[in-house]
Copies of this chain bind each other. A is one copy, B any other.
């Protein structure tokens, strides 16, 4: 049976998931679309020629018999409400990151899901679906480089707009590393520190850029992440794992090796949307497959909660300059 999917939030990312489910993936189709602006929803339905109903009330969509599972791509602050509503209805829900805008809200979702007794929530962190990160994790898990001791990472954007504030380096940018590195290491953070290098002249006055986040894990692994959102030269994600026996690195995106004008070169992407484009497809296919099998395998609510707690600590560290402890409860067996 083809899975019937209802989408809440028909903005850019919502439309992207609609297109993906209708034109690229297997096993699901969009049957209902909601947006706070009903014309936006209607327009998305027309744009992709989807045989779907525009539903004015998101909770009606969630409860609809024509909807087997829900995709939440609305404004961040509304995530908690819709995800909790889906859990209450007993429906599977894919929620774009962040799971919720505060650690407490994430925790409420975790609690509701555990109370329900079955995993229903997949959080839209796509990096664990990136073939590069998967290959890197396979190397780590193989034992080939021994136990990880240090990670040297970088998250670089060519530039950001006025809207981007110093704390967004954590909540919007580092949040991806906070999620994926925990998954990569099968480990938890215990402290965070943020240091500010010399500011680049390419950043706007209100923004501290670059920044370096220093994280420590329960196993003692030390992580440094350079966050540099006006690096000019490209969108570049780096991750190097130094283990007891060797070093493994995230592969570079594939590019044509060129020799021209006195240089050997390979292009670097400049648009973040292209970097993980394959991962988005695999992520959503995995959600659809998981729902159809009754068993989700993707990023769970607990991992969304942990990322939120770590982000809070990093934001505190931005201000205090001190080493901020991160105190996470043990991961419930429910999420094992």
- State the A residues within 8 Å of B (CB): 22-27, 131-132, 135-136, 138-139, 144-147, 149-150, 152, 195-202, 210, 212, 214, 219-222, 224, 226, 228, 231-234, 236, 242, 244-270, 285, 289
Contacts and interface: CB of A to CB of B under 8 A. Distances in A.
Given A196-B222, A264-B268, 5 more contacts: A144-B260, A147-B198, A201-B244, A248-B258, A265-B266
Contact of A201 (B147, B221, B252, B261): B147
A136 to B, nearest CB: 5
Contacts of A228: 149-150, 242
A245 B232 CA distance: 6
Contacts of A27: 23
Contact of A259 (B23, B132, B234, B289): B234
Contacts of A257: 248-249, 251
A222 B201 contact: no
A145 B231 CA distance: 10
Contact of A26 (B24, B146, B252, B259): B24
Contacts of A150: 197, 210, 212, 226, 228
A332 to B, nearest CB: 25
Contacts of A268: 259, 262-264
16 contacts: A24-B26, A132-B254, A132-B256, A149-B197, A195-B214, A197-B221, A199-B220, A202-B244, A212-B222, A228-B242, A231-B246, A232-B261, A233-B261, A262-B268, A263-B265, A263-B267
B23 A260 contact: no
A131 B256 CA distance: 10
B152 A258 contact: no
A315 to B, nearest CB: 20
Given A226-B152, A246-B232, A262 B256 contact: no
Contacts of A226: 150, 152, 242
Contact of A197 (B202, B220, B252, B256): B220
Contacts of A24: 26, 285
A251 B242 contact: no
A251 B256 contact: yes
Contacts of A246: 231-233, 258-261
A9 to B, nearest CB: 22
A210 B242 contact: yes
Contact of A262 (B261, B263, B264, B267): B267
A247 B150 CA distance: 22
Nearest to A212: B222
Given A144-B260, A236-B259, A220 B244 contact: no
A186 to B, nearest CB: 14
A238 to B, nearest CB: 9
